[in-house]
Amino acid sequence: MPKKITIEIKECVEFLQKEHSNAKGIIKKDRIKTLLYIKQEKYHFQSDIGKKLGRTEKTVRDWIKEYVKFELSTLLEVKSGGNNTRTISDKAKSFIVQKILDVKHNNNALYRITIVAI
């Protein structure tokens, strides 16, 4: 049988509900919902909260550990997403530069720049 959640949520239900309604992003909302479920004693197991939110038990466990260690403000700092910097190949860059230069040199004609997959 799974271990029952025994942590105490320090924030009141009203505060958590307000934070939930003001939160931007699904991850923040789910983290606050986790705390609400524990505070309101709706769910007693991490696996049940995970199923309700569509998250893994490990994710819920990590959120709870983070809350216990650092409290609410740190829990609401979403650090996921990684490096989403888009990069473009040198070949594609030179193609675009050449098309722009062609347009500048031929300003009498209308050109449509089309980027093709390279």
Q: Which residues contact 118 (CB under 8 A, 6 or more apart)?
A: 89, 91, 92, 95
Task: HSE, CB side, 13 Å, CA atoms: give it for residue 42.
Answer: 13
Q: What is the pLDDT of residue 118?
A: 45
Answer whether 16's CB lies under 8 Å from 36's CB: yes
CA end-to-end distance (rounded Å), the chain: 55
Strand partners, 45: 4
Q: Which residues contact 52 (CB under 8 A, 6 or more apart)?
A: 37, 43
Q: What is the pLDDT of residue 75?
A: 86
Q: What is the pLDDT of residue 99?
A: 82
Residue 42 forms part of a structural domain: yes
Question: 61 with 20, same domain?
Answer: yes
Q: What is the pLDDT of residue 85?
A: 63
Question: 59 with 31, same domain?
Answer: yes
Q: What is the pLDDT of residue 78?
A: 81
Residue 95 forms part of a structural domain: yes
Residue 2 forms part of a structural domain: no
Q: What is the pLDDT of residue 114?
A: 52
Residue 4 forms part of a structural domain: no
The three-class DSSP label of residue 63 is helix
What is the count of structural domains for the chain?
2
Task: HSE, CB side, 13 Å, CA atoms: give it for residue 59.
Answer: 16
Question: 54 with 95, same domain?
Answer: no
Question: 66 with 96, same domain?
Answer: no
Q: What is the mean pLDDT of each run of 10 residues along the chain (118 residues)?
A: 85 94 92 95 93 94 93 84 68 84 62 50
Q: What is the pLDDT of residue 55?
A: 93
DSSP 36: H
Domain that holds residue 118: 87-118
Residue 1 forms part of a structural domain: no
Residue 20 forms part of a structural domain: yes
Retrieve residue 22's tokens.
Answer: 């003001």
